Amino acid sequence: MPKLIAPSVLAADFANLQRDCEMLNRSDADWFHIDIMDGVFVPNISFGMPVLRDIIKHADKTIDTHLMIVDPDRYVKTFADLGCDILTVHYEACTHLHRTLQNIKAHGMKAGVALNPHTNVDLLKDVIQDIDLVCLMSVNPGFGGQSFIENTYSKVSELKELINKKGTGTLIEIDGGVTDKNAKQLVAAGADVLVAGSYVFKSSDQEKTVKELRELANS
Ligand SMILES: O=C(CO)[C@@H](O)[C@H](O)COP(=O)(O)O
Protein backbone atom coordinates (compact mmCIF):
# COMPACT_ATOMS: atom_id res chain seq x y z
CA MET A 1 0.00 0.00 0.00
CA PRO A 2 1.42 3.45 -0.87
CA LYS A 3 2.39 5.75 1.96
CA LEU A 4 -0.14 8.54 2.37
CA ILE A 5 0.18 12.30 2.83
CA ALA A 6 -2.38 14.15 4.93
CA PRO A 7 -1.83 17.92 4.91
CA SER A 8 -3.03 19.55 8.13
CA VAL A 9 -5.61 22.23 7.36
CA LEU A 10 -4.68 23.95 10.66
CA ALA A 11 -1.83 25.60 8.74
CA ALA A 12 -4.07 26.82 5.88
CA ASP A 13 -5.05 30.46 5.36
CA PHE A 14 -8.41 30.61 7.17
CA ALA A 15 -9.43 33.68 5.18
CA ASN A 16 -8.98 31.65 2.00
CA LEU A 17 -10.10 28.21 3.10
CA GLN A 18 -11.97 27.37 -0.08
CA ARG A 19 -8.89 28.22 -2.15
CA ASP A 20 -6.70 26.04 0.07
CA CYS A 21 -9.19 23.15 0.00
CA GLU A 22 -9.22 23.32 -3.80
CA MET A 23 -5.41 23.32 -3.85
CA LEU A 24 -5.47 20.08 -1.79
CA ASN A 25 -8.08 18.58 -4.13
CA ARG A 26 -5.79 19.24 -7.11
CA SER A 27 -2.67 18.04 -5.30
CA ASP A 28 -1.36 14.53 -4.66
CA ALA A 29 -2.57 14.73 -1.05
CA ASP A 30 -4.41 11.59 0.00
CA TRP A 31 -6.37 12.93 2.98
CA PHE A 32 -7.44 16.21 4.55
CA HIS A 33 -6.19 16.20 8.17
CA ILE A 34 -8.46 18.32 10.37
CA ASP A 35 -7.51 19.34 13.90
CA ILE A 36 -10.31 20.10 16.34
CA MET A 37 -9.01 21.72 19.56
CA ASP A 38 -11.16 22.71 22.52
CA GLY A 39 -8.88 24.90 24.64
CA VAL A 40 -9.19 22.37 27.49
CA PHE A 41 -7.46 19.19 26.39
CA VAL A 42 -4.92 21.39 24.61
CA PRO A 43 -4.09 25.05 25.27
CA ASN A 44 -5.48 26.25 21.95
CA ILE A 45 -8.83 26.48 20.14
CA SER A 46 -8.83 25.76 16.40
CA PHE A 47 -12.32 25.79 14.91
CA GLY A 48 -15.64 24.06 15.35
CA MET A 49 -18.53 22.53 13.44
CA PRO A 50 -19.53 25.42 11.11
CA VAL A 51 -16.00 25.73 9.74
CA LEU A 52 -15.60 21.96 9.50
CA ARG A 53 -18.89 21.78 7.57
CA ASP A 54 -17.57 24.27 5.02
CA ILE A 55 -14.21 22.51 4.68
CA ILE A 56 -15.98 19.21 4.01
CA LYS A 57 -18.22 20.95 1.47
CA HIS A 58 -15.11 21.87 -0.55
CA ALA A 59 -13.03 18.72 0.05
CA ASP A 60 -13.17 15.72 -2.23
CA LYS A 61 -10.79 13.44 -0.31
CA THR A 62 -10.88 11.37 2.87
CA ILE A 63 -11.59 13.51 5.94
CA ASP A 64 -9.20 12.50 8.73
CA THR A 65 -10.38 14.27 11.88
CA HIS A 66 -8.13 14.53 14.93
CA LEU A 67 -10.03 15.46 18.07
CA MET A 68 -7.96 17.21 20.73
CA ILE A 69 -10.94 17.56 23.03
CA VAL A 70 -12.09 16.19 26.38
CA ASP A 71 -14.97 13.72 26.48
CA PRO A 72 -15.09 13.16 22.70
CA ASP A 73 -18.07 10.75 22.93
CA ARG A 74 -20.37 13.75 23.19
CA TYR A 75 -19.69 14.65 19.55
CA VAL A 76 -19.21 11.32 17.74
CA LYS A 77 -22.63 11.47 16.06
CA THR A 78 -22.11 15.12 15.08
CA PHE A 79 -18.79 14.37 13.35
CA ALA A 80 -20.35 11.38 11.58
CA ASP A 81 -23.27 13.51 10.38
CA LEU A 82 -20.86 16.16 9.09
CA GLY A 83 -19.17 13.54 6.88
CA CYS A 84 -15.92 12.67 8.66
CA ASP A 85 -14.39 9.40 7.45
CA ILE A 86 -11.85 8.80 10.21
CA LEU A 87 -12.35 10.01 13.77
CA THR A 88 -9.31 9.99 16.03
CA VAL A 89 -9.61 10.51 19.77
CA HIS A 90 -6.80 10.92 22.28
CA TYR A 91 -5.92 7.98 24.50
CA GLU A 92 -5.38 10.52 27.29
CA ALA A 93 -8.92 11.93 26.88
CA CYS A 94 -10.85 8.65 27.03
CA THR A 95 -11.79 6.90 30.26
CA HIS A 96 -13.53 4.07 28.37
CA LEU A 97 -11.49 3.90 25.19
CA HIS A 98 -12.90 0.57 24.00
CA ARG A 99 -16.45 1.90 24.27
CA THR A 100 -15.51 5.10 22.43
CA LEU A 101 -13.97 3.12 19.56
CA GLN A 102 -17.10 0.98 19.24
CA ASN A 103 -19.19 4.14 19.22
CA ILE A 104 -17.13 5.65 16.39
CA LYS A 105 -17.45 2.46 14.31
CA ALA A 106 -21.16 2.17 15.02
CA HIS A 107 -21.47 5.59 13.39
CA GLY A 108 -19.80 4.32 10.21
CA MET A 109 -16.36 5.91 10.66
CA LYS A 110 -12.87 4.43 10.99
CA ALA A 111 -11.61 4.68 14.56
CA GLY A 112 -8.28 6.29 15.41
CA VAL A 113 -6.38 6.76 18.66
CA ALA A 114 -3.76 9.50 19.13
CA LEU A 115 -0.94 9.23 21.65
CA ASN A 116 0.84 12.20 23.16
CA PRO A 117 4.64 12.14 22.99
CA HIS A 118 4.89 10.92 26.61
CA THR A 119 2.37 8.08 26.22
CA ASN A 120 3.84 4.60 25.76
CA VAL A 121 2.62 2.57 22.77
CA ASP A 122 2.39 -0.56 24.96
CA LEU A 123 -0.77 0.91 26.50
CA LEU A 124 -2.58 0.00 23.27
CA LYS A 125 -1.78 -3.71 23.35
CA ASP A 126 -5.21 -4.81 24.65
CA VAL A 127 -7.18 -2.61 22.26
CA ILE A 128 -5.07 -2.51 19.09
CA GLN A 129 -7.40 -4.99 17.33
CA ASP A 130 -10.17 -2.37 17.57
CA ILE A 131 -8.09 0.52 16.17
CA ASP A 132 -7.94 1.37 12.45
CA LEU A 133 -5.28 4.07 12.87
CA VAL A 134 -2.84 5.15 15.58
CA CYS A 135 -1.74 8.78 15.37
CA LEU A 136 1.63 9.20 17.07
CA MET A 137 2.09 12.81 18.08
CA SER A 138 5.62 13.90 17.22
CA VAL A 139 5.04 17.29 18.90
CA ASN A 140 2.99 18.18 21.96
CA PRO A 141 -0.51 18.69 20.57
CA GLY A 142 -2.09 22.12 20.35
CA PHE A 143 -0.07 24.07 17.81
CA GLY A 144 1.33 23.79 14.31
CA GLY A 145 4.88 24.74 13.44
CA GLN A 146 6.68 22.99 16.31
CA SER A 147 9.89 20.97 16.10
CA PHE A 148 9.76 17.23 15.55
CA ILE A 149 10.54 15.11 18.64
CA GLU A 150 13.29 12.64 17.67
CA ASN A 151 12.12 9.91 20.07
CA THR A 152 9.22 9.35 17.65
CA TYR A 153 11.26 7.02 15.44
CA SER A 154 11.62 4.41 18.19
CA LYS A 155 7.92 4.71 19.06
CA VAL A 156 7.00 4.01 15.43
CA SER A 157 9.17 0.88 15.43
CA GLU A 158 7.68 -0.37 18.71
CA LEU A 159 4.16 0.24 17.50
CA LYS A 160 4.86 -1.46 14.16
CA GLU A 161 6.13 -4.50 16.04
CA LEU A 162 2.94 -4.64 18.12
CA ILE A 163 0.72 -4.29 15.02
CA ASN A 164 2.65 -7.00 13.15
CA LYS A 165 2.55 -9.31 16.18
CA LYS A 166 -1.22 -8.93 16.50
CA GLY A 167 -1.77 -8.90 12.71
CA THR A 168 -4.30 -6.06 12.91
CA GLY A 169 -3.26 -3.99 9.86
CA THR A 170 -3.66 -0.79 11.90
CA LEU A 171 -2.23 2.25 10.11
CA ILE A 172 0.47 4.36 11.79
CA GLU A 173 0.12 8.11 11.28
CA ILE A 174 2.74 10.66 12.35
CA ASP A 175 1.62 14.15 13.26
CA GLY A 176 3.80 17.16 14.01
CA GLY A 177 6.95 18.66 12.52
CA VAL A 178 6.95 16.37 9.48
CA THR A 179 9.21 17.58 6.65
CA ASP A 180 11.44 16.23 3.89
CA LYS A 181 14.12 15.84 6.61
CA ASN A 182 12.31 13.10 8.55
CA ALA A 183 9.76 11.62 6.12
CA LYS A 184 11.95 8.83 4.78
CA GLN A 185 13.18 7.72 8.20
CA LEU A 186 9.61 7.68 9.53
CA VAL A 187 8.47 5.47 6.67
CA ALA A 188 11.49 3.20 7.16
CA ALA A 189 10.48 2.82 10.81
CA GLY A 190 6.94 1.79 9.81
CA ALA A 191 4.84 4.93 9.27
CA ASP A 192 1.94 4.71 6.79
CA VAL A 193 0.51 8.24 6.88
CA LEU A 194 2.43 11.52 7.25
CA VAL A 195 0.58 14.63 8.43
CA ALA A 196 2.26 17.87 7.36
CA GLY A 197 0.94 21.34 8.15
CA SER A 198 3.47 24.16 8.04
CA TYR A 199 5.80 22.29 5.71
CA VAL A 200 3.07 22.25 3.04
CA PHE A 201 1.16 25.48 3.62
CA LYS A 202 4.16 27.75 4.30
CA SER A 203 5.97 26.59 1.17
CA SER A 204 6.02 28.76 -1.95
CA ASP A 205 4.59 26.01 -4.17
CA GLN A 206 2.20 23.95 -2.02
CA GLU A 207 1.13 21.45 -4.68
CA LYS A 208 4.73 20.75 -5.59
CA THR A 209 5.63 20.28 -1.92
CA VAL A 210 2.85 17.72 -1.46
CA LYS A 211 3.94 15.89 -4.60
CA GLU A 212 7.61 15.80 -3.56
CA LEU A 213 6.79 14.69 -0.01
CA ARG A 214 4.62 11.88 -1.34
CA GLU A 215 7.32 10.77 -3.77
CA LEU A 216 9.90 10.84 -0.98
CA ALA A 217 7.68 8.77 1.31
CA ASN A 218 7.20 6.18 -1.43
CA SER A 219 10.79 6.08 -2.76
O1 LIG B 1 -2.27 18.13 15.64
C2 LIG B 1 -1.45 18.95 15.33
C3 LIG B 1 -0.94 19.91 16.31
O4 LIG B 1 -1.55 19.67 17.52
C5 LIG B 1 -0.91 18.89 13.94
O6 LIG B 1 -1.81 18.31 13.01
C7 LIG B 1 -0.31 20.12 13.38
O8 LIG B 1 -1.27 20.85 12.67
C9 LIG B 1 0.80 19.73 12.47
O10 LIG B 1 1.38 20.88 12.02
P11 LIG B 1 2.92 21.00 11.65
O12 LIG B 1 3.69 20.55 12.87
O13 LIG B 1 3.12 20.06 10.50
O14 LIG B 1 3.09 22.42 11.32
| Mean pLDDT of the region 86-96 | 98
Structural domain boundaries, residue 36:
4-217
Does the annotation place 112 within a ligand binding site?
no
| Mean pLDDT of the region 158-165 | 98
Contact between 136 and 152 (Cβ < 8 Å): yes
User: How many structural domains comprise the chain?
Assistant: 1
The long-range contacts involving 14-22, CB below 8 angstroms and separated by at least 24 positions, are: 14/47, 14/51, 17/51, 17/54, 17/55, 17/58, 18/54, 18/58, 20/201, 21/55, 21/58, 21/59, 22/58
| Mean pLDDT of the region 80-86 | 98
| ipTM of this complex | 0.98
- Tell me whether residue 81 is one of the annotated catalytic residues: no
Residue ranges lining ligand 1, Cβ < 6 Å: 8, 10-11, 33, 35, 66, 139, 141-146, 175-178, 195-199
pLDDT band at 110 (very low <50, low <70, confident <90, very high): very high
Beta bridge pairs of residue 48:
none
CATH of the domain at 23: 3.20.20.70
Give the pLDDT score at 197: 98
| Mean pLDDT of the region 58-76 | 98
Q: Which of 143, 147, 201 to mutate to test the pocket of ligand 1 (most atoms within 8 A of CB)?
A: 143
What pTM does this model have?
0.98
**pLDDT by residue (tens digit) across 21-48?**
999 999 999 999 999 999 999 999 999 9
Give the pLDDT score at 123: 98
Tell me the pLDDT of the chain averaged across its residues: 98
- Tell me whether residue 205 is one of the annotated catalytic residues: no
